[in-house]
Amino acid sequence: MTRLTPRVRHQAAASRGTYAALVLAAVGALLAGLGVWWIARTDTAGREDDAGPSGRGHGLPGNAASGALPDGPCAPTEELEPRCGAWWGAYVPYAPSGSLTEAVYAFEKKIGRRLDLVYNYHDMSDTPLDGELLTADEQELGRDRLLMLAWESTVWTEPHHAGWTETQLGWRSIASGRYDRDIVDPQARRIKAYGKRLFLSFDQEADFRIKEGAGTPEEFVAAYRHIHDRFEELGVTNVVWVWTVSGYLGHAEQMERLYPGDEYVDWIGMDQYNYYLCHKSPSWLDFDRSQRPSYDWLRERVSGEKPVMLAEFATAPDPLQPRRRRDWYARIPEVAPTMPRVRALVHWNRPVPGAGCDLTVNSGPGLEGYREAGRDAYFRQTVPGR
């Protein structure tokens, strides 16, 4: 789930480096303890069966999704690309109670509509709290929404990556199959049992992970392909593969080298923002200027055929002109159709570290503009259900 957004990752490098020295066993012990709490919570709520495909006492419910697609001229393709308009989604952090459903329902009440797509993040700790794909909350949300799961090749130091620190497992190790039996295979089987199509992104913003020690672009490609092929070997056919980079054009050379190839990718994802004073940017970038350069570059230099997901987007506020934030969001329905391969827009609704870096639309002009944009017919598609 939680991760630093473009140009924020490197600012936390010093802090992250300190935590990286922690032994993985200690991290595992912490997460294991929290996992006991999670199992107790979900069992008390009666939301999960006693057994499932993972055989660890926190399996999928009996009424797993069928994966049926809607009919009609605007029905999505097998790769979940809507033929008319685009999906409207968001990443919403967990509620203080630890519930994702509570957080999503509260956000939807604020914005006046149901999300088409819920984006959530997981590490590879293989614990129920953060390392298990398709938690009980995700399964519940997935009944009426699409799910986008970002799977990071790390073990987080804190629950839900609250302090942004983590231990890298390394792309070379993943490509070697070292983690297949204990991490990759159990999650692949859970997704297969779920049945409904979902989006999966392995190590989103891989271009920022190179300096963090994950490996080389070639090692990323090998790791990505290995996970993709391993899922195929296990008969997992309900994954739509999203390759997600930051879109930061200062990383153009790395992003080209990170691409696994059209046969391994269904969607291209990018994470671009109008950070403005959050990172002392000299210029305010409206929605068009914040997204189009990276969109055009990816279509020209990586793939012009794949649908594009704005896998994270948001704007920082302008404290001197608060209405700017409203207008930034309100203009999205005007701009999005002029980038016709953008078929999903996913708002990042969480602050990031730093002054002026509240990227949420929980109140004020930002919420007003976001609500207005979400009412547009362009973002009103029929979502596959159970």
Strand partners, 313: 347
Tell me the mean pLDDT in the region 52-58: 41
For residue 386, the model assigns a pLDDT of 64
Tell me the mean pLDDT in the region 199-212: 96
What is the per-residue pLDDT across 342-364, written as a single tens digit (0 to 9) for each?
999 999 999 888 889 999 999 99
User: For residue 49, is pLDDT > 50?
Assistant: no
| CATH number for the domain that contains residue 299 | 3.20.20.80
In a domain, 2, yes or no: no
CA dihedral 244, 10, 349, 325 (to 10 degrees): -110
- Domain extent for 97: 9-379
In a domain, 385, yes or no: no
Strand partners, 90: 118, 347
Q: Are 125 and 131 within 8 A, CB to CB?
A: yes
Tell me the mean pLDDT in the region 241-251: 97
For residue 67, the model assigns a pLDDT of 57
Active-site annotation, residues: 205, 312
User: For residue 14, is pLDDT > 70?
Assistant: no
User: Which runs of E-coded beta strand occur in 111-186?
Assistant: 117-122, 146-151, 154-156, 166-168
Above pLDDT 90, what percent of the chain?
75
Which H or E run includes 343? strand 342-348
Name the nearest CA neighbour of 224 among 167, 155, 175.
Answer: 175
Cα–Cα dist 194/240, whole Å: 14
Chain center to CA of 330: 23
For residue 69, the model assigns a pLDDT of 72
Name the nearest CA neighbour of 248 among 212, 279, 294, 292.
Answer: 294
User: For residue 36, is pLDDT > 50?
Assistant: no
Chain center to CA of 347: 10
For residue 51, the model assigns a pLDDT of 31
Report the interhelical angle of 323-330 vs 364-374 (nearest 10°). 10
For residue 164, the model assigns a pLDDT of 85
What is the per-residue pLDDT across 272-323, written as a single tens digit (0 to 9) for each?
999 999 988 889 999 999 999 999 999 999 999 999 999 999 999 999 999 9
Cβ count within 10 A of residue 213? 13
For residue 384, the model assigns a pLDDT of 87
Cα–Cα dist 253/210, whole Å: 12
Q: Are 100 and 47 within 8 A, CB to CB?
A: no
- Global pTM reads 0.85
C-alpha distance from residue 1 to each of 162, 223, 311, 322 (Å) = 10, 20, 13, 29
For residue 282, the model assigns a pLDDT of 82
In a domain, 157, yes or no: yes
User: For residue 178, is pLDDT > 90?
Assistant: yes
Q: Are 134 and 186 within 8 A, CB to CB?
A: no
For residue 2, the model assigns a pLDDT of 34
Strand partners, 310: 270, 345
Q: What is the SS3 assignment for 58-118?
A: CCCCCCCCCCCCCCCCCCCCCCCCCCCCCEEEEECCCCCCCCHHHHHHHHHHHHCCCCCEE
In a domain, 77, yes or no: yes
In a domain, 236, yes or no: yes
Q: Are 128 and 58 within 8 A, CB to CB?
A: yes
- Kindly report the average pLDDT of the chain as a whole number: 86
Tell me the mean pLDDT in the region 264-270: 98
User: For residue 170, is pLDDT > 90?
Assistant: yes
For residue 23, the model assigns a pLDDT of 35
In a domain, 172, yes or no: yes
CA 3, 112, 275, 208 torsion-angle sign: positive
User: For residue 12, is pLDDT > 80?
Assistant: no
In a domain, 386, yes or no: no
For residue 366, the model assigns a pLDDT of 98
How many domains is the chain built from? 1
User: Using only C-alpha atoms, what is the Rg of the chain?
Assistant: 20
Tell me the mean pLDDT in the region 112-137: 95
